[in-house]
Amino acid sequence: MDDPERPHSETDQADLEELRRQYEEAADAGDTDAEFALGVLHSQWMDPPDLDAARRWYERAADAGRSEAMLELGWIDEELTRPRELDAARRWYERAADAGNVDAMLRLAYLYQVLMSPADPDATRQWWERAADAGHSDAMHNLGVLHHAFMDPPDDEAARRWWERAAEAGESKAMNSLGLLYSHWTDPPDLDAARQWYERAADAGNHGAMNNLGWLLHKQMDPPDLDAAWHWYERAADAGHGRAKVNLARWRVDVMRSTGSRRE
């Protein structure tokens, strides 16, 4: 049985009871997908949600080995229960992660970094590493951020390695972070390397990298490349990047000061 799709109309909502009956019939026959679907129905479709019923069905699916059900049980304890039951959420996420669920690994990293008090950078790193080893490029990027911004002392060499792994996996945020590393956090800066990484990220559609590339060409290169800087600021601004719009105004001021003209 496939996972259910959310009803889209009042008529669909009126049919929930019949849908629930059909899923229960399948679940009672041992269909794990139906057990999971009943958890979704009770936790996400019912108004108000019936979290007790959702738990019962998710637990049946979890006991049958369905890692998505373990993840949903963790989410109920983390986000839908008040007060939050973070220890219970952690246990469910760990079961799901041990079953190979990458989303659960990411939830555990978030739990240890943001929700636990005090935060546990080592546990955060371990779970992001597991997600990264499973091929998750955003986890690779986050590991770079962790080593650069949250470790004491920072380890920018480790950050660079993780960002490069993420970049080679296609993660444009990591390409942009590498541009920042080489342009702002390396002593002395390596502006040629920074430009290359910004260009890769910009070509991948990263608006922050477009703005950063404009700034590098405008304010960091000697001599500046004002035409190219305008091009990248404008692309970022057209995409709605607020800082790029500010930088375009700065660009106009600098051009007027240097040439006495305004770009139209």
pLDDT digits (tens, 9 = 90+) for 57-75: 999 999 999 999 999 999 9
255 within some domain: yes
Q: Is the pLDDT of residue 124 over 80?
A: yes
Q: Identify the weakest region by mean pLDDT among 149-158, 160-169, 195-204, 225-234.
A: 149-158
227 domain-assigned: yes
Domain annotation covers residue 38: no
In a domain, 115, yes or no: no
Residue among 84, 85, 104, 106 nearest 96 (CA): 104
Alpha carbons 91 and 99: distance in angstroms, whole number: 13
Residue 133 located in a structural domain: no
Tell me, yes or no, whether 63 lies in a domain. Answer: no
On whether residue 259 sits in a domain, the answer given is yes
| Residue 211 maps to a domain | yes
Residue 100, both tokens? 């190979």
**Crossing angle of helices 207-215/242-259, nearest 10°?**
20
| 53-54-59-60 Cα dihedral, nearest 10 degrees | 70
What pLDDT sits at residue 186?
97
Among the listed residues 185, 199, 193, the one whose alpha carbon sits nearest the alpha carbon of residue 155: 185
3-class secondary-structure state, position 26: helix
The reported pTM is 0.83
Q: Tell me the C-alpha distance between 143 and 139, whole Å.
A: 6
Q: How many domains is the chain built from?
A: 1
Q: Please give the residue range of the domain that contains residue 223.
A: 191-264
In the prediction, which pLDDT does 16 show? 87
Residues found in the chain = 264
